[in-house]
Structure formats: structure tokens, C-alpha cells
A and B are shown apart, each in its own frame.
Chain A
């Protein structure tokens, strides 16, 4: 099985722009979570989607949004970028129901730099 795939791997934006990141989960995984990783704040939960519905949301401003499609692929969007949005954005998928282990399977991340 292919792992979690995130695109793009690296991107550079300027303040005020917006960005869209994409995530394809492991086949059969319907839950997709997004995390922001920075040296100062560590790993912070953004949101989680299951069957196209946002099921959980972290404490981030409304500039951060996401969605999930019927094939479980997910996108997250950050509008009006700020310097502090520079981070590694990690996507993770998990299996629910039969065979559930609670484990998150992570992608390699998208490194966003805001200038």
C-alpha cells in the first residue's frame, strides 16, 4: 500500500498570499488529520476530517481551513499568510472500525516558508 502522500513538499509564499496543501491518505483510511509543526510550538492539531465532515478542530484562526473529498483526499488552505505561518504541515491518516489501532500514519509534510 502507498503511504500518506503530501504535495507540495516545499513552497515559498509572501505575506498576504494564500496557500493550498494536499494530502492523499492511505487507501481505506477515511480519517485525515492535519498538524502544524514549528520549533517553538511543537506539533499542534489543526483539524480532522472523516467522511467529508470536519469532526474536530484545533485552536487556530479562521484563516486556516480544510476540506475532504469523497475519495478521502484532503486539502488545507491558509489565507492571508503571516510570517508566523512558516512551518512544517503534516497530514496523517488513520483507520477506524475493524482493525483500528489508534495509530496515525504521517506523510512527509509540506514545508511552508512565508517571506
Chain B
């Protein structure tokens, strides 16, 4: 079964600095999707960034970028120029191309200090 591990329950970053959130996953499949979701205190989960396993190039969305290491089964999220609005729970998620359920890590609570 696919599992997703986030080893950092909490992280803290100074405003305008850079922070990296870690995620590892376990799978025997070759094709899948990886995601980072953000859940602010208002609770709605929103997508931050996605990566398709067959793409070697790391995904980037403005200040958010990932370091995808397929062989190592690692998928970290880098947030550059952190803003107060980035404070939230961040979930790493895996979704097989064939199975329909999405597997989530336990989450990392990010605090941004002014």
C-alpha cells in the first residue's frame, strides 16, 4: 500500500525567508501524481503544487517549487520569500494513476514569524 510520510510536524520560518518541507512516499508504481495541499485555519484545502511522476522537471508555481527525487521517493516543497499568508497546515499527497483515493501525509504546521 502506498504511504506518505511527513517527518516534520511543525516548522517555523521568518517572513521573507525560505523554508523547505519534507515528504517521502512509498510505492511500487511507476506512474502517479504527487501534490502539496495547504489548509489554512479556515479549513479549506487548496492545491499548492502538483507533480506528475513521469516528468523529470521539478514543478514550480511562483514562490513554491518542489524537489522531486523519484528514485529516492522524495518530494519536498520549498517556499521562497515566505509571507504571513503562507501560515497553514501543509499536506503532501500521493495519488496513483489507477487507484482513485488520494493518500495524505500527517501534515506539517508552518508558522511564519513577522
A→B interface (CB under 8 Å) = 31, 33, 42-43, 45, 48, 50, 55-56, 58, 88, 90, 92, 101-109
Q: 13 pairs across A/B with beta carbons < 8 Å?
A: A33-B100, A42-B105, A45-B102, A50-B100, A56-B100, A102-B33, A102-B50, A103-B33, A103-B35, A103-B50, A104-B102, A106-B44, A107-B44
Q: Point out the residue from A58, A107, A109 that lies within 8 Å of B101, measured CB to CB.
A: A58
- Complex Cα spacing A58 to B47, Å: 23
Chain A residues closer than 8 Å to B16, beta-carbon distance: none
Whether A109 lies near B99 (C-beta < 8 A) is no
Whether A102 lies near B95 (C-beta < 8 A) is yes
Residue in B42, B43, B103, B104 whose Cβ sees the most chain A Cβ within 10 Å: B43
Chain B residues closer than 8 Å to A108, beta-carbon distance: 42-44
- Complex Cα spacing A31 to B100, Å: 9
Q: How far is the CB of B92 from chain A (nearest CB, A)?
A: 11
Closest to B44 in A: A108
B106 contacts the other chain (CB 8 A): yes
What 0/1 pattern do residues 69 to 113 of B give for CB contact below 8 A with A?
000000000000000000000010001010111111111000000
B interface, how many residues as a size bin? 20 to 34
Q: Point out the residue from A43, A48, A107 that lies within 8 Å of B91, measured CB to CB.
A: A43
Closest to A109 in B: B43
Chain B residues closer than 8 Å to A50, beta-carbon distance: 100
A42-B107 contact in complex given A48-B100, A108-B43, C-beta closer than 8 Å: yes
What 0/1 pattern do residues 42 to 53 of B give for CB contact below 8 A with A?
111111001010
Whether B104 lies near A42 (C-beta < 8 A) is yes
Whether B45 lies near A55 (C-beta < 8 A) is no
Chain B residues closer than 8 Å to A31, beta-carbon distance: 100
Whether B43 lies near A56 (C-beta < 8 A) is no
Whether A56 lies near B44 (C-beta < 8 A) is no
- Complex Cα spacing A50 to B100, Å: 10
- Complex Cα spacing A58 to B101, Å: 8
Whether B107 lies near A106 (C-beta < 8 A) is no
